[in-house]
Structure 1
């Protein structure tokens, strides 16, 4: 099983770098197809997200595409929420987690589909620090419970509601994952509910893909980036539906 997880990790890392996601939205369904239980898949996903988000955010910062600014308040909220979410998972049945994940994917598809890509910074809206913290808190609780970094929820909010340029939103989304995933890892480790061995295999392999994904992100148009995001969400949705009903 470990050998199979190496190419999975590289692929997920590329997705994380390119889309600004932790990778859980696609990794969890893949692990379910490979035969892992939902809660084990979520644990492996959290380990991978810690590695890919920290490395990816470092690369984005070096390239100048990550501006911390307001993101730090969302991040702190995500840390608190992610810590809480790590405890919540063990009390929720697998089938409930799967349907929650399905709802998140449908929400993300709806928001992104009806958003307009913005290239410039002029139309970006701002929010108060307290509200930003609250958004991060809610996303952190919900996302880590599902084994995703939260960017899957944050990206549609940034692009669809706050009118962020999509590439700025992608970098901000991956930065958010640092906070939520680290907190989720801490709380999940304290409950002993993480498959750390398989998680490290996927996580280390993902670092190779992250660098490629970020390079690719910087060489595509915003319109094509959005179309690729929609395709990714559809893929994850299809895999999850297959797991639930077939």
Structure 2
């Protein structure tokens, strides 16, 4: 099996780099790339989601460490997202372990389509982001103030809800939940996209660790492939977090939407083929 050879490990390392760049740029865990890539190696979806969480955890810790070092991380908001996300990550991992491979693939495809919608929602909120950036210009001039920004009570409930939803998706699909957290933070908390990305990334490591613990208990994790993804993710996240302030949001959003659509088509095809295979097997048994 290619996944058990040095060539396969090298390919996973490269995939991890790309996933890490996406992680740093968009506040996601990178599982959206890692899971389909692992299925291409013949790994069942439940093992692919579990293994991807190793890479997600390492890459997000790497990116968040950089953001924290330069004072761009609101660690209080990230902590709230993480604490409540950890709770539902266990639930998501348990559900994923009890769903047939075919239906998990189809569910993942639907989720990717929903993600495209959420990305479009970000674009619709672009004008609101401009107003927020003008109001927070002084904070951006002094990054240390941003990292120590308070989390007032009127932000607590939305952060809890966002964390709970993102945690469930993390455990179920092997992702960090950033594709949900970022647009919801913009919508309900009025954050700029770059602030939301950094806050989301800061929470993903803990959420992914929780889902990983559940999958490890169920013996679903392929540790060597996961570490290969993670080592690449550590490098890629450093690149992504440094590119974030320099790239056009519009270009990144368009490319990401195309990327998600491609993955959605692939995962849907994978699920349909699995269902067809199960149907044929049932007919043969009869």
Aligned counterpart, 1:219: 246
Aligned with 2:221: secondary structure? coil
1:169 and 1:52 mapped to 2: Cα distance?
A: 18
Aligned counterpart, 1:146: 173
The CA deviation at 1:161 is: 4.6
User: Which structure is higher in helix share?
Assistant: 2
The CA deviation at 1:110 is: 1.3
2:209 corresponds to 1:189: no
Match of 1:165 among 160, 179, 192: 192
The CA deviation at 1:244 is: 3.2
Aligned counterpart, 1:116: 125
TM-score calculated relative to the size of structure 1? 0.89
Aligned counterpart, 2:97: 90
Deviations 1:170-208 (A, max 9, x none): 112211211210111122222222111111111112111
2:110 and 2:183 mapped to 1: Cα distance?
A: 14
Match of 2:34 among 18, 27, 36: 27
Q: Which deviates the most, 140-149 or 42-51? A: 140-149
Length, aligned pairs only: 245
Gapped regions of structure 2 (runs ≥ 5): 1-7, 137-151, 274-286
Match of 1:104 among 94, 111, 119: 111
1:70 and 1:208 mapped to 2: Cα distance?
A: 25
Aligned counterpart, 1:5: 12
Is the 8 Å Cα contact of residues 115 and 179 (structure 2) preserved in structure 1?
yes
2:81 corresponds to 1:81: no
Deviations 1:15-56 (A, max 9, x none): 111121100112111222232211121111111011011111
Aligned counterpart, 2:164: 137
Aligned counterpart, 1:51: 58
TM-score calculated relative to the size of structure 2? 0.78
2:199 corresponds to 1:199: no
Is the 8 Å Cα contact of residues 88 and 165 (structure 2) preserved in structure 1?
yes
2:21 and 2:233 mapped to 1: Cα distance?
A: 7
Q: Which deviates the most, 164-173 or 60-69? A: 60-69
Is the 8 Å Cα contact of residues 30 and 239 (structure 1) preserved in structure 2?
no
Q: Which deviates the most, 197-206 or 29-38? A: 29-38
Is the 8 Å Cα contact of residues 31 and 41 (structure 1) preserved in structure 2?
yes
- Identify if the C-alpha distance between structure 1 residues 128 and 161 changes in structure 2 by more than 3 Å, giving closer, same or farther: closer
The CA deviation at 1:69 is: 3.0
- Identify if the C-alpha distance between structure 1 residues 205 and 106 changes in structure 2 by more than 3 Å, giving closer, same or farther: same
Structural RMSD (CA): 2.3
Is the 8 Å Cα contact of residues 108 and 156 (structure 1) preserved in structure 2?
no
